């Protein structure tokens, strides 16, 4: 037997080391204190109790354009500021529209609006009265034989005090005629004249007497004088209408009576308050 074989046979193999005992709780606490926070599983950077601390590594953002570092953040910041400014502007506009009124201010405003509506109604009533008196005095409606023609005076020839009423009526009449022409054919209108029809046919179709409506030629023209009158406050317009009634027709709008002469004996005065 050689020397190497004797060494092999005489080699002593040491026993396997005993298993290391598990660390105690004190050892574990010390190990955690020595270990950096970033290397702990689930650990976060910063002081303990900071819930907003980062727990994951910062993600790598691969740039796909040629913008500089921080460009995207700057764009987002500007967009956020623009949205905040727009929201602030809308809120300011809303507050302007929705103005909180005191109870007294609200009652006063409602009272003013109702009074303005009441005066506007009186203005319209005075205009109708004056127009009727003027037409009666001028005797504009004429009848000639079997044909009657409703004359349409130029609007600028009508007194400006009730010219707006006349213009409104002319516009309504024109619109009515346009709708009528669209709904019916011209051959069935009473104003249509057929040379082949005899007198009996015309009477049967209601064409014995024809009525021809004429719209004012200057209906579509501008009227600065009327525009100036319409922008006056309702009380001022009513005042001028009442004064014209008294001067021209000896009529009191408040008494609802036409006096025989210009003295208007028995009328309390010019204003509504005088008749209370």
Tens-digit pLDDT profile for residues 64-123: 666 666 677 777 888 888 888 888 888 777 776 656 667 778 888 889 999 999 999 999
Let me know: does 151 contact 214? Beta carbons within 8 Å.
Answer: yes
Mean pLDDT of 7-32: 68
Distance CA 273, CA 242 (A): 14
What's the confidence (pLDDT) of residue 89?
Answer: 81
Q: Are strands 251-252 and 210-213 parallel, antiparallel or unpaired?
A: unpaired
Coil, helix or strand for 60?
coil
Q: Which residue has the tokens 């209601």?
A: 206
What's the confidence (pLDDT) of residue 145?
Answer: 41
Rg (CA), the chain: 50
pTM for this prediction: 0.49
Mean pLDDT of 169-179: 81
What's the confidence (pLDDT) of residue 244?
Answer: 93
254 or 167: whose pLDDT is higher? 254
DSSP summary character for residue 144 = E
For residue 253, report the phi and psi dihedrals to the nearest 5 degrees. -65, -30
């Amino acid at each position: 037997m050689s020397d190497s074989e004797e060494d092999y046979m005489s080699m002593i193999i040491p026993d396997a080391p005993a298993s290391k005992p598990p660390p105690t709780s004190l050892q574990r606490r010390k190990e955690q204190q020595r270990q950096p926070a970033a290397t702990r599983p689930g650990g976060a950077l910063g002081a303990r109790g900071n819930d907003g601390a980062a727990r994951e590594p910062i993600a790598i953002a691969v740039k796909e354009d040629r913008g500089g570092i921080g460009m995207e953040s700057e764009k987002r910041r500007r967009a956020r500021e623009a949205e905040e400014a727009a929201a602030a502007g809308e809120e300011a506009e809303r507050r302007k529209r929705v103005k909180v009124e005191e109870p007294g201010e609200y009652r006063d405003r409602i009272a003013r609006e109702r009074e303005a509506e009441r005066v506007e109604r009186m203005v319209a009533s005075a205009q109708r009265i004056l127009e009727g008196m003027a037409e009666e005095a001028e005797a504009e409606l004429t009848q000639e034989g079997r044909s009657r023609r409703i004359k349409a005076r130029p609007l600028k020839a009508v007194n400006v005090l009730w010219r707006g009423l006349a213009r409104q009526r002319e516009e309504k009449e024109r619109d009515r005629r346009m709708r009528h022409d669209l709904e019916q054919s011209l051959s069935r209108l009473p104003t249509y004249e057929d040379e082949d029809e005899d007198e009996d046919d015309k009477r049967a179709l209601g064409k014995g007497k024809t009525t021809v409506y004429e719209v004012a030629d200057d209906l579509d023209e501008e009227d600065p004088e009327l525009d100036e009158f319409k922008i006056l406050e309702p009380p001022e317009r009513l005042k001028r209408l009442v004064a014209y009634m008294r001067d021209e027709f000896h009529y009191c709008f408040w008494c609802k009576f036409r006096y025989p002469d210009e003295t208007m004996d028995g009328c309390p005065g010019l204003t509504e308050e005088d008749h209370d």
